[in-house]
Amino acid sequence: MEKVIVGISGGVDSAVAAYLLKKDGYDVEGLFMRNWDSSINNDILGNPNDLNDICPQEKDYNDAVKLCEILGIKLHRVDFIKEYWDYVFKYFLDELKKGRTPNPDLLCNKFIKFDLFLKEAERLGASFVATGHYARLKGGKLLRGVDVNKDQTYFLADVPASHFRHILFPVGDLTKEKVRKIAHEQNLNVASKKDSTGICFIGERNYQAFVSNYLKPNPGDIVDVETNKVIGRHTGLMNYTIGQRRHVGVSGNLERHYVCGKNVEKNILYVAFGDNSKYLESDECLIENVNFISSLRPSFCTAKFRYRDKDHAVNLEYLEDGNIIVHYPDKAKSVTPGQACVLYLGEECLGCGFIKQVKNNKEELWYLK
């Protein structure tokens, strides 16, 4: 009987993954990863004196304990707090300092969930690890999850190809609706638990309040990109992302302005007015730190520039330094430095790179520099 260590998060997806593997005859054990010292959040944003205010991470752990009791499997707990800080959180802060929009979930998967977790599972004598991600592995290929609305291959695209040899995705062939149904049928304690949202180390807390404890707020001018006139003050460039329309900070007509760029050197936030989104459009980007999961190197494929983005038809220009120029002649909006550009060929996730530079009509967008 092959031993599998399942990453138990305290949510319904990993719960059903563990149930399905046990049902299929695997020797299943669970492992709860503690990646963040939640007392930091309480000290900064919460009320550490409120004994009833159990942090979400500890609630998740308590749910994981109860789940494993129901399933009759052993639960391990491991702390990767230092490693998460070194490999994920420092990167997150460094990217914000550069005026970019990082996605720490990809780094967490690369360095924590599908690296350190694999090593811990090996130490525990397991042949495989499993998670509740909506993705599929077939013939050495990483494929989109059957549920297109829950597909999570975008967040797995930076994981080295070799790591997938020892990974199982039990819910990848199921819809979220089916996963919930199984959880209810088996009377799992997390069957109705809501999915987690937001960045894992911030959770539902105030983003700006959290980040300001690590990066000193640096207010500056908000400039209209068309008139070059100062029309307001921003609270710090790290608090804004390209395409943002809410809480921009311009007096009056708040919903009519959108963020179209940042100048870190001059500490300027550029905005455009109205519904005309031409300043968000581009037709080319340069991606760096490229990771290929697939052995294929196509000239034409599709790309997603953010998780909830649609697929864009692209052609790829491979550079000698390993970077790739991604051309998308039909144009795309809000292609943002720091975000991942994930490449697909049909159902297969090929890998990704991180957006370094954005152009339109061969010109770098000066308000994105």
One domain for residues 159 and 60: yes
Looking at residue 302, which CATH number applies to its domain? 2.40.30.10
pTM: 0.91
Chain Cα centroid distance, residue 106: 5
pLDDT of residue 201: 62
CA separation, residue 134 to residues 68, 131, 171, 210 (Å): 21, 9, 6, 29
CATH of the domain at 82: 3.40.50.620
Q: Are residues 58 and 121 in the same domain?
A: yes
Asked if 224 and 344 sit in the same domain, the reply is no
Structural contact between residues 40 and 210, judged by C-beta atoms closer than 8 angstroms: no
**108 with 240, same domain?**
no
pLDDT of the residue at 44:
47
**Same domain flag for 59 and 176:** yes
Q: Is residue 191 part of a domain?
A: no
3-state secondary structure 123-168: HCCCCEEECCCCEEEECCEEEECCCCCCCCHHHHCCCCHHHHHHEE
Residue 257 pairs in a beta bridge with 273
- Please check whether residues 256 and 287 belong to one and the same domain: no
Question: Which pLDDT does position 56 carry in this prediction?
Answer: 73
Residue after which a domain boundary falls, among 185, 208, 236 = 185
Final residue of a domain: which of 230, 252, 273?
273
**Do 22 and 123 have their domain in common?**
yes
- Domain span at residue 77 reads 3-185
Domain boundary residue among 161, 185, 209?
185
**b/e 44-67 (16+ beta carbons within 10 angstroms → b):** eeeeeeeeeeebbbeebbebbbeb
| Residue 68 designated active-site | no
Q: What share of the chain is helix, strand, coil (3-state, %, to 5)?
A: 30, 30, 40
Q: Whole-angstrom Cα distance, residue 15 to residue 33? A: 14
**142 part of a folded domain:** yes
Per-residue pLDDT at 61: 93
List 55, 68, 108, 285, catalytic entry? 108
Residues 82 and 54 in one domain: yes
Q: List the chain residues with pLDDT less than 50.
A: 44-52
For residues 210 and 41, the answer to whether their CB atoms sit within 8 Å is yes
Classify residue 202: in a domain, yes or no: no
Q: Tell me what pLDDT residue 209 has.
A: 78
Domain CATH for 244:
2.30.30.280
Residue 200 annotated as catalytic? yes
Residues 156 and 123 in one domain: yes
Quick one: 78 and 148 in the same domain?
yes
Backbone phi, psi, residue 242, to 5° = -65, 130
Q: Give the dihedral sign, CA 185/186/191/196.
A: negative
CA distance 133 to 105: 12
Number of domains within the chain? 3
Is residue 338 a part of any domain in this protein?
Answer: yes
Q: Give pLDDT, residue 207.
A: 73
Domain assignment present for residue 199? The answer is no
Residue 194 maps to a domain: no
Residues 91 and 158 in one domain: yes
Residue 229 lies in a domain: yes
The whole-number pLDDT of residue 27 equals 97
In a domain, 197, yes or no: no
- 63 and 177 together in one domain: yes
